[in-house]
C-alpha cells in the first residue's frame, strides 16, 4: 500500500501544481480550489507513506517524479518547451529515483 499512497501523493501534487499554473496567479477561482485540494490530498497521502518509508527517501521520490510529471504536463497542456540541459537534468532525476527504488535497502520492496 505504501507505493500506492506514494503514487496518489505524486498525482495529486501534479494536479495541484498544474491547477496553480491554470489559476493565472490566483485570479481564477476554480483552478485555485483545485490547487488547494490537490496539495491537501497530496500531503495527506505523503503522510501515509511516511509510516513505512523514511522521510528523505519518500520526499526524494515524491518530489523527483513530481518534477518530471509536471514538466510533461507543462509540455502537453501549456506548450512549455525544454532545452537539452533541462532534458538531461530530468533524465538524471529519473535515474536517481530508479537507483533508490532498485538498489537502496532503505526502501521497503
pLDDT at 70: 95
Contact 27, 35 (CB under 8 A): no
Q: Cα separation of 101 and 99, whole Å?
A: 5
The confidence band for 100, taking pLDDT boundaries of 50, 70 and 90, is: confident
In the predicted structure, residue 102 carries a pLDDT above the cut 80: yes
In the predicted structure, residue 109 carries a pLDDT above the cut 60: no
pLDDT at 107: 67
Mean residue pLDDT across the chain: 93
* Cell (9 digits) for 63: 518530489
pLDDT at 71: 94
∠ Cα 76 78 80 (to 5°): 85
Amino acid at each position: 500500500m505504501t507505493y500506492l499512497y506514494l503514487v496518489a501523493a505524486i498525482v495529486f501534487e501534479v494536479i495541484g501544481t498544474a491547477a496553480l499554473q491554470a489559476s493565472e496567479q490566483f485570479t481564477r477561482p476554480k483552478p485555485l480550489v483545485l490547487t488547494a485540494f490537490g496539495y491537501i490530498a497530496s500531503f495527506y497521502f505523503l503522510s501515509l507513506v511516511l509510516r513505512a518509508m523514511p522521510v528523505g527517501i519518500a520526499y526524494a521520490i515524491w518530489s523527483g517524479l513530481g518534477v518530471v510529471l509536471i514538466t510533461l504536463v507543462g509540455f502537453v497542456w501549456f506548450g512549455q518547451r525544454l532545452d537539452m540541459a533541462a532534458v538531461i537534468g530530468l533524465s538524471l532525476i529519473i535515474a536517481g529515483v530508479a537507483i533508490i527504488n532498485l538498489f537502496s535497502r532503505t526502501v521497503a520492496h
